[in-house]
């Protein structure tokens, strides 16, 4: 018998509860009790029959699981969704960087991030690792939407769109960390962009700053052939080896993409406890390549899933991400069981939490964990029948099937709709998009 409390703040009832723990414990007719923003108990519905709850969320036979953890995103880049399609990474970056230089300000980041984070929340994401300029604006947006956020200062080897010379960039980083250490719902990482936008000295300086502040690192690495060529020219080696020389290949570092890795690099990541965020949507769309997921899993590298930004992958859909991750692994290996659906859902939940350094608090429905819980409704025709919940989530379900989302016990999506009112942000993004489109039409 599960030890449910006599009272709780919220009781999620009548769901197929997938705890996503290491043993994949599940309760076909289950319930989850939440108190003080944390899981109090999870178990069979019959054991929760006498619990008195302030709020009851009826899952109506749907799937209940931990919220998705998106480990690589640029939420505010919804501002440039569809702006630079049908181009490889280098051509895409050239177009987007020009648009960013002309239009990105704290105000536009705040509006864009709010819209992007709302899209994520509606798709079942309860925590996101976000890398973008003006991170204070993204922190503000996350508080309004209610999602958990890992954010931090971006490091780039030139002034960048935030127009910070290197000494000021370092000072801003220290100030940002000092101001947000302990901020509710906010976790911290330093965000060096890549080995192709930072020289060896600056990479090493960021690594030392990470040590001094006690804050982990998140960095793009080995994403595309063009990046491999740039880093070879600048550093005389591969991105992972350049980062290793700088002292960044170490426990708690999170690499974004990690597509073009050799066997020795995969072994190094596993040995050092480095995590990676697999971003199949943007990797496929930009023809960047196919990450070696079966080899990474076999080596024991902590793998997770990211959407990247909407400017490169065009949507922020973790269901699409899960499906494509599985399909790309199958195609690359020629084995239909290369990435079982159950393992893909684990990458999107507890794997994401582990990669983000939050595995002790998130990614699993268990007593004491953060109450990041989502409910997937199974009534739509495309989900009937649903023999296996993991297969259903990866190969059939979509974000339109997300009915309820609780982040740290707070309901941020109710009955499929966003709780926060972001109408002003949506209008701001539409207005800016119209302005950018007019500029492009005029050729100015």
Pick the closest to residue 343 from 385, 296, 310 (CA basis): 296
- The whole-chain average pLDDT of the chain stands at 95
Q: Is 241 left (phi over 0), alpha (psi -120 to 50) or beta?
A: alpha
Say yes or no: 11 and 88 in one domain.
Answer: no
Say yes or no: 131 and 278 in one domain.
Answer: yes
Please indicate, yes or no, if residue 361 is contained in any of the structural domains. Answer: no
Say yes or no: 51 and 111 in one domain.
Answer: no
Which of 308, 329, 354 lies at the terminal end of a domain, its last residue?
Answer: 354
Please indicate, yes or no, if residue 443 is contained in any of the structural domains. Answer: no
How many C-beta neighbours within 10 Å does residue 327 have?
Answer: 16
Structural tokens at position 422:
């972001």
Say yes or no: 293 and 190 in one domain.
Answer: yes
Say yes or no: 205 and 237 in one domain.
Answer: yes
**With 90 as the cut, is the pLDDT of residue 380 above it?**
yes
Which of 354, 382, 402 lies at the terminal end of a domain, its last residue?
Answer: 354
Please indicate, yes or no, if residue 428 is contained in any of the structural domains. Answer: no
Q: What is the pLDDT of residue 443?
A: 54
Q: What is the CATH number of the domain that holds 44?
A: 2.30.40.10
Pick the closest to residue 162 from 106, 110, 205 (CA basis): 106
Rg (CA), the chain: 21
Say yes or no: 304 and 213 in one domain.
Answer: yes
Q: What is the pLDDT of residue 442?
A: 62
Please indicate, yes or no, if residue 425 is contained in any of the structural domains. Answer: no
Which of 303, 331, 354 lies at the terminal end of a domain, its last residue?
Answer: 354
Q: What is the pLDDT of residue 444?
A: 46
Say yes or no: 230 and 176 in one domain.
Answer: yes
Structural tokens at position 80:
């440039």
Please indicate, yes or no, if residue 49 is contained in any of the structural domains. Answer: yes
More confident of the two residues 145 and 444: 145
Say yes or no: 258 and 384 in one domain.
Answer: no
Number of domains in the chain: 2
> How big is the chain, counted in residues?
444
Say yes or no: 49 and 84 in one domain.
Answer: no
The answer to whether the beta carbons of residues 201 and 246 sit under 8 Å apart is no
Q: Which residues of 222-242 are buried (b: 16+ CB within 10 A; e: fewer)?
A: bbbbbbbebbeebbeebbbbb
Instruction: Return the minimum-mean-pLDDT range out of 54-58, 104-108, 263-267.
Output: 104-108
pLDDT digits (tens, 9 = 90+) for 388-422: 999 999 999 999 999 999 999 999 999 999 999 99
**With 80 as the cut, is the pLDDT of residue 438 above it?**
no
Please indicate, yes or no, if residue 230 is contained in any of the structural domains. Answer: yes
Say yes or no: 101 and 175 in one domain.
Answer: yes
DSSP of 366-395: STTSB--EEEE---SGGG-S-S-HHHHHHH
Please indicate, yes or no, if residue 200 is contained in any of the structural domains. Answer: yes
Distance between CA atoms of 62 and 65, rounded to whole angstroms?
10
pLDDT digits (tens, 9 = 90+) for 132-184: 999 999 999 999 999 999 999 999 999 888 999 999 999 999 999 999 999 99
Q: What is the pLDDT of residue 101?
A: 86
Please indicate, yes or no, if residue 38 is contained in any of the structural domains. Answer: yes
Boundaries of domain holding 246:
68-354
> Residue 371: what are its φ and ψ, rounded to 5°?
-85, 70
Say yes or no: 393 and 249 in one domain.
Answer: no
Average pLDDT over residues 248-252: 97
Say yes or no: 35 and 14 in one domain.
Answer: yes
pLDDT digits (tens, 9 = 90+) for 276-331: 999 999 999 999 999 999 999 999 999 999 999 998 889 999 999 999 999 999 99
Tell me what percent of the chain is helix, strand and coil, each rounded to the nearest 5.
40, 25, 35
């Amino acid at each position: 018998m599960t030890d449910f409390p006599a009272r709780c703040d919220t009781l999620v009832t009548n769901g197929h509860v997938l705890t996503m723990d290491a043993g994949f414990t599940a309760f076909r007719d289950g319930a989850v009790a939440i108190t003080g923003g944390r899981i109090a108990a999870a178990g069979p519905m019959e054991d929760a029959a006498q619990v008195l709850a302030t709020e009851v969320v009826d899952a109506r036979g749907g799937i209940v699981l931990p919220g998705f953890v998106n480990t690589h995103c640029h939420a505010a880049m919804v501002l440039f969704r569809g702006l630079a399609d049908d181009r490889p990474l280098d051509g895409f970056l050239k177009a987007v960087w020009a648009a960013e230089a002309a239009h990105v300000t704290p105000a536009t980041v705040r509006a864009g991030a709010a819209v992007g984070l709302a899209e994520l929340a509606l798709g079942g994401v309860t925590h996101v690792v976000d890398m973008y300029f003006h991170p204070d604006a993204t922190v503000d947006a996350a508080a309004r939407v209610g999602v958990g956020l890992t954010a931090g200062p971006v490091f780039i080897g030139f002034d960048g769109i935030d127009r910070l010379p290197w000494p000021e960039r370092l000072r801003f980083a220290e100030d940002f960390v000092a101001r947000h250490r302990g901020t509710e719902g906010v976790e911290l990482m330093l965000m060096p962009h890549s080995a192709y936008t930072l020289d060896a000295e600056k990479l090493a300086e960021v690594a030392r700053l990470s040590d001094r502040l006690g804050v982990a690192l998140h960095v793009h690495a080995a994403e595309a052939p063009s990046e491999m060529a740039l880093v070879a020219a600048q550093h005389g080696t591969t991105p992972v080896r350049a980062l290793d020389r700088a002292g960044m290949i170490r426990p708690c570092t999170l690499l974004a993409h990690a597509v073009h890795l050799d066997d020795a690099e995969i072994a190094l990541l596993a040995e050092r406890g480095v995590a990676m965020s697999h971003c199949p949507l943007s990797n496929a769309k930009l023809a960047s390549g196919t990450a070696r997921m079966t080899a990474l899993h076999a080596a024991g590298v902590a793998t997770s899933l990211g959407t990247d930004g909407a400017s490169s992958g065009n949507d922020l859909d973790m269901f699409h991400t899960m499906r494509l991750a599985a399909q790309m692994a199958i195609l690359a290996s020629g084995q239909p069981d290369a990435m079982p659906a159950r393992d893909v859902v684990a990458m999107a939940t507890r794997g994401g939490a582990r990669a983000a350094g939050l595995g002790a608090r998130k990614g699993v429905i268990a007593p004491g964990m953060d109450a990041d819980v989502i409910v997937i409704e199974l009534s739509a025709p495309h989900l009937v029948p649903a023999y296996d919940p993991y297969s259903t989530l990866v190969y059939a379900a979509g974000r339109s099937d997300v009915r309820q989302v609780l982040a740290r016990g707070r309901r941020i999506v109710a009955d499929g709709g966003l709780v926060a009112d972001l109408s002003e942000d949506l209008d701001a993004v539409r207005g800016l998009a119209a302005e950018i489109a007019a500029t492009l039409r005029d050729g100015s």
